[in-house]
Structure 1
Amino acid sequence: MPLKAWLAAGVLALAVLALAQEGVDPREEAKRQKQLLLETAGILPTELIVEQGKELFNRKGPSGKTMAECDFGLGKGVLEGAAARLPRYFLDTNRVEDLDGRIVTCMTRVQGFKPEQVKRPEVVAVAFYIASFSTGKPIQVRLLFPQERELYALGEKLFYARSGSRDIGCATCHVTYVGRRAGVLPYADVLGKDKSWTHWPAYRYSNDQIWTMQDRIRACYGNIAHPQPDLYSLPILALELFLAYSNNGAVVEEWPAFVR
């Protein structure tokens, strides 16, 4: 059977099993599902996406340059540990950027792609590739520039804000009700010992999707019946900076991760 067919079969099997799982530790279950997929397909979706991201990273743009000419915070082409230091302020754009946004900047300013030519799946694939160089690295996000401090303050407000018809917000699930259950999924502690912020970017086996933190935040807003912020928007970036700074010192176990 072709690899894609094996992978599709494996993903389908995992999706069915995921629906049947209740009362299990999500991390242990992710390990079991990961092993099952390896045995079924012989390869993980994260490996495929990282390889795709590598090809895109080394692809020349209209300017004739590859992404190796881009600075992701530690110098041109330096990827080791770069993702673990984002979001951060960049002098060349005069704004704070996360990994997704910096990739877009690289593709448009350095590689010469027009904004409408930047495809979201390609941004995500490159994010997976760059993030893979931060596995085992500690989160090191700073608040040195006024722009970083202002964005952090906004992110903190957004995280603890309660609004909407349900009168809930980020902290309702990720602080107040940590350890309790909603449906079949336990709430994750994004500020404490679990450090679940470091799980993203990741492949979600329960719905066969690849997400960066931007996608995760948008999904959270949808889950609490709030309008979803646009990709690359200020609210998403502010929340990312707040969460990243709150997780300083946490070691990235695996990027991209394999999660439920």
Structure 2
Amino acid sequence: MKKTYVYLCFVVLCQITSNLSFAQTASDEIAKYRAMLADGNPAELVEGQGEVLWATKRGPKNASLEQCDFGKGPGVIKGVYAEMPRYFADVDSVMDFESRLVHCMVTLQGFKREDVVKKPFSAQGERATDLEALTAYAVAESRGSLIRVPQSHPKEKAAFARGEKAFFYRGGPFDFNCASCHGADEKRIRLQDLPNLLNGAQAQKAFATWPAYRVSQGAVRTMQWRLNDCFRQQRFPDLKYGSLTSIDLITYLGVMAKGGSMDAPALKR
């Protein structure tokens, strides 16, 4: 009986070791795959599309976005993504990059908001939407900038507090929250390692690499898309594009990633 017990323990230990070894090997191979693609990130094509859109006069007002103020003054795009969401006095609220972009397309170019946000994300195989392309261009212009999401205004602090509450809020049919997947080390979905967003270094790496080009979908995906997809996987209702909750969550994630260096658009599986 004792020999049988020892043997079974040995078998279980070998299986666990084998599983851990397989998981590590899978992670290594995924990392190699990303490294091979990094020199020719397809996101560069979408960045170029966004750069053209940025300077093109469009909309009922026949204006470009070159006078849009993302927090560093009208027309300044370099480095702005790394310091958003932030408070804007002209709207008396906190905005992330995408919601501010929509605001400028409406106020400067004369587009109707409902038309701009009607389809913010492209379907697989489709050309990038204007919002995706412009966001890709902007974040590329922030590559190398330090993440410094401000917390000086009371409404910025309130956005962080609400974002923290949303991160830990449990609900849906699975009783999930953001922390279910991103609140501890060494978690994964299938072969995908999940960052612990409560860990400074891991939060920095995660925030710094979004938006990203999703190889499996052949598309650039923005942070608003990333959050909406997380809600989908939790079986929550769709997260409304540019909603208060989305901005609050991005604020929380950005503050947790303080001090990291932007490296987006990156490559994701």
- Alignment TM-score > 0.5, same fold: yes
Q: Which residue identity does 1:255 align to in structure 2?
A: A
Q: Which residue of 7, 29, 33 maps to 1:29?
A: 33
In the TM superposition, what whole-angstrom CA distance separates every residue of 1:64-92 from its partner, at most 9, and x where no partner exists? 32111111110011111111000001011
Q: Which residue of 109, 112, 121 maps to 2:107?
A: 109
Percent identity between the two aligned chains: 34
In the TM superposition, what whole-angstrom CA distance separates every residue of 1:125-147 from its partner, at most 9, and x where no partner exists? 10110111111111011112221
1:22 Cα deviation after fit: 7.2
Q: Which residue identity does 1:160 align to in structure 2?
A: F
1:205 is aligned to 215
Q: Which residue identity does 1:183 align to in structure 2?
A: R
1:242 is aligned to 252
Give the distance between the partners of 1:83 and 1:48, measured in 2 at CA: 19
1:13 is aligned to none
Q: Which residue of 171, 182, 185 maps to 2:189?
A: 182
1:59 Cα deviation after fit: 1.2
1:5 is aligned to none
2:198 is aligned to 191
User: SS in structure 2 opposite 1:162?
Assistant: coil
Which segment drifts farther, 240-249 or 193-202? Answer: 193-202
Q: Which residue of 48, 52, 57 maps to 2:54?
A: 57
Q: Which residue of 147, 150, 168 maps to 2:155?
A: 147
Contact 1:22–1:184 at 8 Å: present in 2 too? Answer: no
Give the distance between the partners of 1:116 and 1:220, measured in 2 at CA: 24
Report the TM-score, using the length of structure 2 for normalisation: 0.81
Unaligned runs of 5+ in 2: 1-23, 121-128
User: SS in structure 2 opposite 1:105?
Assistant: helix
1:28 Cα deviation after fit: 3.5
Q: Which residue identity does 2:101 align to in structure 1?
A: I
Moved over 6 A (4+): none
1:94 Cα deviation after fit: 1.2
User: Is residue 2:81 matched to residue 1:79?
Assistant: no
User: SS in structure 1 opposite 2:26?
Assistant: coil
Unaligned runs of 5+ in 1: 1-20
1:156 Cα deviation after fit: 0.1
Which protein has the larger Cα radius of gyration, Structure 1 or Structure 2? 2
Give the distance between the partners of 1:251 and 1:162, measured in 2 at CA: 31
1:27 Cα deviation after fit: 3.6
Give the distance between the partners of 1:232 and 1:114, measured in 2 at CA: 15
Contact 1:50–1:126 at 8 Å: present in 2 too? Answer: yes
1:224 is aligned to 234
1:122 Cα deviation after fit: 0.5
Contact 2:70–2:100 at 8 Å: present in 1 too? Answer: yes
Distance 1:122 1:22, change over 3 A: farther
Give the distance between the partners of 1:95 and 1:27, measured in 2 at CA: 39
User: Is residue 2:107 matched to residue 1:97?
Assistant: no
Which segment drifts farther, 193-202 or 232-241? Answer: 193-202
1:125 is aligned to 133
1:245 Cα deviation after fit: 0.7
1:233 is aligned to 243
Give the distance between the partners of 1:239 and 1:116, measured in 2 at CA: 23
CA RMSD of aligned residues (A): 1.8
Report the TM-score, using the length of structure 1 for normalisation: 0.83
Contact 2:68–2:75 at 8 Å: present in 1 too? Answer: yes
2:145 is aligned to 137
Contact 1:89–1:96 at 8 Å: present in 2 too? Answer: yes
Give the distance between the partners of 1:154 and 1:57, measured in 2 at CA: 32
1:210 Cα deviation after fit: 1.6
Q: Which residue identity does 1:202 align to in structure 2?
A: A
